[in-house]
A and B are shown apart, each in its own frame.
Chain A
């Protein structure tokens, strides 16, 4: 598999792998991050989609040492056989909670019920968190459900929104501007700065959506 190593900044080394993202490669990156976490001087290990960025405190872990350590860790890392935890989220699809659902179903050539059944029938895995505190990028969206991003982003996407952007589906943990298509909303709080960890979903979790009736 083609791999690229790049220093993104003075103290941030990034390993990226060629697209398209697949679950086993992503799990191998997460295993590498878990293996390296706790290394003295390693400030953070930040997974993206098919990439991992390692940040170092150069006074304790010189850049050259980090790179040697990271290359070794990648060679030896093996993807986990299982997902971290099983997480189920109840989702209200469509209506005010999912204003783009009908358009999405139309673009996919499905009626709304079939679209919802396909979205809720798939199993997803949290590839990484990013963009916002606790925003989960999920792998596993069926190809037929992929959607273009909105031409003009919304200024306010409510917390809990379930969205599709390109080949990814994700969850907005807090209110934010956003350019993805909104298909539903979950009531489970996804981010709370007072909790440890503050995020309800973590990389490596498996996620299922359960359609919930509108109140």
Chain B
């Protein structure tokens, strides 16, 4: 059992989310940074999609009722066990009754704290990911708070410290031009690539609202509702784009000017309000190759770390 003594307000239990329920209006959801979740789980010998704590813009303090291994990926935090600072990026051992604390984030925004055996809350509709808007999954469909107790899966027989440095990245996001890209006027098409976009404070697990010095103009009006996926860059009437994130609604009607390449969607989780980003055009073949590369990289990591399934 994990006992939360303190936790940042918008933190939730997340896994890799639900697949195949979009036709019911239920989105995929899951960790904002699925890449970080999978790296953390690989470090602990967990299944790739084992449930973990997703921290949003703040840390936590917790105690565990059994000896446990923890791995932190995604946003950077200072980790302490009983007050002693731990080296970054390494999995670490916490004995029953000891206190683990995370302070930060010093870099990035969403962190993933995984534990060996994973968080063993009952799955709802096939996953443990919390859906705040639907009020289901995770712990009673809500954000975590002090006093919560989270059940754990079986402990893993891990030996020694292993670590994994975070991926190097830049805030340049590869974008597939969307169905309404050509409906942007010529100036707007150029601006989309050239302009730097600021992440505004109105950003959360549903989407990031961007702001650019110059708004974009699109000739396409409201469209008939159509499936929309995380990473979709929509253009509402004001001309300032919204990038859909993990918990976005499943259908939308705003012009679709682009779609982030799937292999870079995790970057959304590590941009902070106030950060600036740029879009770079990418084609379908390149985006598919980059996705396959990332999947291969994760499989390689699991076999290098000796994960049971690898």
Q: Which residue of B lies closest to A21 (CB)?
A: B224
* Shortest Cβ gap from A209 to chain B (Å): 20
Q: B124 — which chain A residues lie within 8 A by C-beta?
A: 193-194
Asked if A134 and B23 make an inter-chain contact with CB atoms under 8 angstroms apart, the answer reads: no
A184, CB-defined interface residue at 8 Å = no
A191 to B24, CA, bound (A): 10
Is A129 positioned at the interface, with any CB of B under 8 Å from its CB? yes
Nearest CB in chain A to that of B176: its residue: A9
How many residues belonging to A are interface residues under a CB distance threshold of 8 Å?
Answer: 46
B153 contacts chain A at the CB level, 8 A cutoff: no
B284 contacts A10, CB within 8 Å? yes
Task: Give the contact stretch, choosing among A44-52, A74-82, A108-116.
Answer: A44-52
| CB atoms of A47 and B23 under 8 A apart | yes
B95 interfacial by beta-carbon distance below 8 Å: no
Query: Any chain B CB within 8 A of the CB of A160?
Result: no
Contacts of B20 in A (CB 8 A): 43-44
A-B pair number, CB within 8 angstroms: 127
Whether the Cβ atoms of A137 and B133 lie closer than 8 Å is no
Residue from B133, B134, B137, B259 with most neighbouring chain A CB atoms (10 Å): B134
B213 at the interface (CB under 8 A from A): no
Contact A198 B125 (CB under 8 A): yes
Q: Which residues of A contact B249 (CB under 8 A)?
A: 130-132
Q: How far is the CA of A45 from the CA of B136 in the complex (A)?
A: 23
Verify if B25 is at the interface (C-beta below 8 Å from A).
Answer: yes
Q: Are A131 and B261 in contact (CB under 8 A)?
A: no
Q: Quick check: B179 and A8 within 8 Å, CB to CB? A: yes
B22 touches A10 (CB 8 A): no
Q: Is B166's beta carbon under 8 Å from chain A?
A: no
When A and B form their complex, which 8 residue pairs have the shortest distance between CB atoms, in order from nearest? A130-B251, A53-B227, A193-B136, A48-B226, A49-B224, A46-B227, A129-B25, A46-B22
Chain A residues proximal to chain B, CB less than 8 Å:
4, 6-12, 14, 16, 19, 21, 33, 43-51, 53, 55, 58, 63, 128-135, 137, 166, 173-174, 176, 191, 193-194, 197-199, 203
